Amino acid sequence: MKLIKKILTVLLVFVAIIIGIYAYFGGFAKIEFKAEEGGGEMVVYREMIGSYGKNGDLMKSIAEELEKDFEIKVFQGIGIYYDNPKEIEAGDLRWEIGSIVKTDDNNKIDELKKSFSVKILPHQEYLYVDRPLKGYFSIMIGVFKIYPLIEQYFEDNGYSDEVPIMEIYDNKNKTITYRVALVKL
């Protein structure tokens, strides 16, 4: 009987720890969709093909390069993902990774274009979902929890799912914003 009590106690403690970790990284945070106009941000990025697995390292590397070589302080990283990994082989996934920058210095923009691709995100209506950013597990919870809900939202409301999903990592405000263009079928 004592052994069973010990085993149950250990299991309860383990479950409590898992629930606590899940809660800390935003697993129970309320999910709210909002549709509104957005866009106009300047994105400095690199085009990628292959697995999404190294996106965090590349985003960090680009931000460091922008700060060191171009003296641009970066507060927001961005990943733009064109393909659904459930439908496309990992080696063929198309994506862009980089930073959202704020500069109107044309000389600096010309210099950036020598090392990176640069574009302005289109002004249009987007679906937004904001989540807390507290570390790697926040990102993973988002991938497994938010993406299916976005797919369901599109299906329920008659929107095309043939649009890229943007993940905007705001290090200053500690949030991840999932942003997807709203295009009616």
pLDDT tens digits, 140-183: 888 888 999 999 999 999 999 899 999 999 989 999 999 999 99
Residues 128 and 110: their CA atoms lie apart, in Å, by 31
Q: 135: closest CA among 23, 25, 19?
A: 25
Kindly state whether residues 81 and 134 are assigned to the same domain.
yes
SS3 82: coil
| CATH number of domain containing 152 | 3.20.80.10
Kindly state whether residues 82 and 26 are assigned to the same domain.
no
Structural domain count, the chain: 2
Q: Is the pLDDT of residue 29 over 90?
A: no
Taking every pair of Cα atoms in the chain, the longest distance, rounded to a whole number of angstroms, is 76
Residue carrying the six token digits 């200053």: 172
Q: Is the pLDDT of residue 27 over 80?
A: no
Kindly state whether residues 161 and 77 are assigned to the same domain.
yes
* The pLDDT of residue 116: 96
Contact 167, 79 (CB under 8 A): yes
Kindly state whether residues 43 and 95 are assigned to the same domain.
yes
Contact 155, 64 (CB under 8 A): no
Residue 184 neighbours by CB under 8 Å, 6+ apart: 158, 159, 160
Tokens in use for 131?
Answer: 């989540």
Instruction: Residue 61: give the domain boundaries.
Output: 33-181
* The pLDDT of residue 18: 84
Average pLDDT over residues 96-125: 91
pLDDT class for 92, splitting at 50, 70, 90? Answer: very high
Q: Is the pTM of this model over 0.75?
A: yes
Region class of 99: left (phi > 0), else alpha (psi between -120 and 50), else beta? beta
* The pLDDT of residue 36: 95
Q: 142: closest CA among 18, 13, 26, 34?
A: 26
Kindly state whether residues 1 and 76 are assigned to the same domain.
no
Residue carrying the six token digits 């990628």: 48
39-91 pLDDT per residue, tens: 999 999 999 999 998 888 999 999 999 999 999 989 999 999 999 988 999 99
Kindly state whether residues 101 and 167 are assigned to the same domain.
yes
Kindly state whether residues 110 and 157 are assigned to the same domain.
yes
Give the strand order in the sheet containing 42-49: 33-38, 124-132, 175-181, 165-170, 76-81, 94-101, 42-49, 117-120
Q: What DSSP element (H or E) covers 68?
A: helix 55-70
